[in-house]
Amino acid sequence: MLNTRALLLLRPLRAGPRSRLRSGHGVSTRSYSDEAKVPDLSLFPMERIRNFSIVAHVDHGKSTLADRLLEITGAIQPSSGNKQVLDTLQVERERGITVKAQTATLFHSHAHTRHAYMLNLIDTPGHVDFNYEVSRSLAACQGVLLLVDANEGIQAQTVANFYLAFEAELAIIPVINKIDLKAADPDRVAAEIEKLFDIPASDCIRVSAKLGTNVEQILEAVIDRIPPPRGDATAPFRALLFASEFDSFRGAVARVMVRDGAVSRGDRVRTHSSSTSSRPRDYEVSDIGLLLPLPTPTATLYAGQVGYLVCGMRQVTEAQVGDTLHSAAHEVEPLPGFKPSKPMVFAGMFPSDQSEYTSLRSALERLTLRDSSVSVQRESSAALGAGWRLGFLGLLHLDVFQQRLEQEYNTSVILTAPTVPYRAVLTSPRLIKEHGSADVMVLNPCELPDRSVVSHYLEPMITGTIITPDAHMGAIMKLCQERRGTQVDVLYMDGARVMLRYRMPLCEVLVDFYDILKSLSSGYASFDYEEAGYEPVDIVRMDVMLNGKPVEELTNIVHRDKAHLVGKEMCIRLRDSIPRQMFEVAIQATIGSKVIARETIKAFRKNVLAKCYGGDISRKMKLLKRQAEGKKRMREVGGVPVPRGAVIAVLTRSPARSPD
């Protein structure tokens, strides 16, 4: 049995400079620690292992708490400069949010039994757009720390994270953070937790992650309240691949939670997806280890342990998140993974210069390996060239993905206006046969079937949760009604705050809903949503015409009641973006054959009367008539070139200002 003396082996590891950890973008780019400094992992049976995550609303102190846990267990040296140690991406440090779930293995001796335990911590994102990262992390855990701000109390994402953990049947330890603040009211927050989540207030641990107050109690609670992982140490090797990254030299670096058996360097392994294919492929494990939090090679990973594994997977499609890795010598049942993500926001992505298409494609392949919640389909545009239509979980997710492309891969991209996935129920037998189904998903506005062959359209709905001071409840309820929302529930959490639940169309909250919500509530309201199926909707396809010719890139899907307003705005933007021509240019927004908005770009006009100083008026009229006929011929035979900048000005969305 391993006691606290064995932990002394880890002390040289603590002095490693943290700057090395921050310089990389994940496992594959960090510096490595010495294998000799790691204790014998075979001395940690599953009864001495705890796998847990930290979940919370945005800015409730997850990363700060992770820093203190790393310091207390000796993974890093205590320092005032320890801020967001596990947040290694540049975008995470710039925005102050967690985007990518990070793993760290901690060693801690129980205060009473003096037994040493291995604690595998996964720091998860807090924003709704990165819920997929949270669900992936929870699949490798047996418990969570539900972190709540002692000042702000329970927020919308707190509720969402609680139900994620509750549905996964994980042990939940409520932790009230920031008790050092003057306005902190931990008693009120504990009462809220008991009322909403049915967890006794006495079970809440009150801490200050910033000062380290009572943080050691969390480690004791993790050992006492979270069960050990389930598995069979004597069975053939089987592990869940819950995250992966790409290294230019070694290929895919998989993060795994070993469920059964053990895996060592030199072992032959296989993915379950490969086993079920016609040509199974085996891989040889070349590197394996723990994250302490620096990648630290070990000889073997045993049942219940979490670490990284490199086995020569060179294609991004070989390391599928949610797949089961197992011994190549044995056929095993796949582990239950997790519900795949469903993109809720789609946007076109094109290289700024078509000569950069190949490099952007390579960057997309590698980044989508790290972020498997992004869907990718090829797309082409007459104005923007070849590109892709990408699916994201939300606007912040889209923003962060674009920023990571630019920062980590030095690419420059054009991102078109975001849309939501509509559905069309067809009535035409020919189209039903062509699509293979009467229910067709519409991701591109140009592909929306005509109303004459459709019985009805469907739009995606959400159930939104808003927590706000009751003084702002009236204005927020009015906003939800204006966005075609239907009230589902109203719950008073205490004497000053209320939780509203509304069913609304996703497209109504896509762009500016959060900004307006924050404005109406003076910044105090929080918002979270979950998908809630589809409902029939009256939508139309709006085309933009230049002198009677449609511009495919500007086609849009809008609700019929808002078509005139949207069309007018697009026409004005185009009028201000397209250069004047030698002939008049008519910009029209149309629904079918009906024009709903129009703007005109006046033509350049030469003063053909300048040489006339008097005389008969018929001479002047003849010159004006000849000029008009010439411009008419020019308009008929001359096309209107749509500059790339004009398309970008109309389509490119404003940066999403979601909570970060």
For residue 56, say whether it is annotated as part of any ligand binding site.
Answer: yes
Ranges 6-15, 172-181, 338-347, 419-428: which has the least confidence: 6-15
The tens digit of pLDDT for each residue in 80-131 reads 555 655 655 555 555 555 556 678 888 888 878 888 899 998 767 655 556 6
The answer on whether 248 is annotated among ligand-binding residues is no
Handedness of CA 156, 158, 159, 165 (dihedral sign): positive
Flag the least confident range among 198-212, 302-316, 356-370, 608-622. Answer: 608-622
Measure the CA–CA gap between 256 and 139, rounded to whole angstroms.
11
Query: Over the range 634-644, which residues count as b (16 or more CB within 10 Å of their CB) and which as e?
Result: ebeeeebebee
180 annotated to bind ligand: yes
Q: Report helix, strand or coil for 573.
A: helix
Q: Provide the phi-psi class of 409: left if phi over 0, else alpha when psi is between -120 and 50, else beta.
A: alpha
- Per the annotation, does 57 bind a ligand? yes
Out of 68-77, 92-101, 160-169, 405-414, pick the least confident: 92-101
Encode 363-393: b = buried (16+ Cβ within 10 Å), e = exposed: bbebbbbbbbbbbeeebebebbeebbbbbbb
Confidence class of residue 144 from pLDDT cuts 50, 70 and 90? very high
Asked if the model's pLDDT at residue 13 lies above 80, the reply is no
Question: So what's the pLDDT on residue 494?
Answer: 76
Instruction: Return the residue matching tokens 């967690």.
Output: 98
pLDDT of amino acid 552? 73
Check whether 127 is labelled as a binding-site residue. Answer: yes
* E strand map for 427-518: 439-442, 454-469, 486-492, 497-505
Q: Which of 80-89, 144-153, 478-487 has the lowest average pLDDT?
A: 80-89
Question: Which of the four pLDDT bands, split at 50, 70 and 90, describes residue 633?
Answer: low
Q: What's the chain's average pLDDT?
A: 79
Rounded to an integer, what is the distance from CA 509 to the centroid of its chain? 16
How confident is the model at residue 85, as a pLDDT? 57
Report the alpha-carbon distance of residue 135 to residue 403 in Å, rounded: 23
63 assigned to a ligand binding site: yes
**Which has more confidence, 515 or 587?**
587
Q: Are residues 233 and 252 in contact, defined by beta-carbon separation less than 8 angstroms?
A: no
Residues above pLDDT 70, as percent of the chain: 79
Residue 124 marked ligand-binding: yes
The answer to whether the annotation marks 282 as part of a ligand binding site is no
Which residue type is seen at 606? K
Q: Is 61 annotated as a binding residue?
A: yes
Could you give the 3-state DSSP secondary structure of residue 477? helix
Who contacts 586 (Cβ-Cβ below 8 Å, separation ≥6)? 545, 546, 547, 548, 598, 600
Beta-bridge partner residues of 104: 121
- What span, in angstroms and rounded, lies between the C-alpha atoms of 72 and 78? 8
Q: Is 178 annotated as a binding residue?
A: yes
Which of 312-316, 578-582, 606-610 shows the lowest per-residue confidence on average (mean pLDDT)?
Answer: 606-610
pLDDT value, residue 502: 95
Pairwise pLDDT comparison (627 vs 333), residue with the higher score: 333
**Residue 650 confidence (pLDDT) above 70:** no
Instruction: Report the helix count and the strand count for the chain, using DSSP H and E.
Output: 17, 31
Stated as kind and residue range, the H or E segment containing 256 is strand 251-260
Domains of the chain and CATH, by start: 4-225 (3.40.50.300), 238-327 (2.40.30.10), 345-415 (3.30.70.870), 425-537 (3.30.70.240), 540-651 (3.30.70.2570)
Q: Which residue has the higher pLDDT, 369 or 589?
A: 589
Judged on CB neighbours under 10 Å (0-12, 13-18, 19+), 77 is middle
Tell me whether residue 58 is annotated as binding: yes
Which range is least confidently modeled, 144-148, 180-184, 465-469, 654-658?
A: 654-658
Amino acid 337: pLDDT: 62
Which of the given ranges, 388-397, 405-414, 530-539, has the highest pLDDT on average? 530-539
Confidence of residue 174 (pLDDT cuts 50, 70, 90): very high
DSSP string for 48-113: GEEEEEEEESTTSSHHHHHHHHHHHTTSS---TT-SSTT--SHHHHHHTS--S-EEEEEEEE-TTT
456 labeled binding residue = no
Distance separating alpha carbons of residues 543 and 571, to the nearest angstrom: 11
Q: At residue 187, does pLDDT exceed 70? A: yes
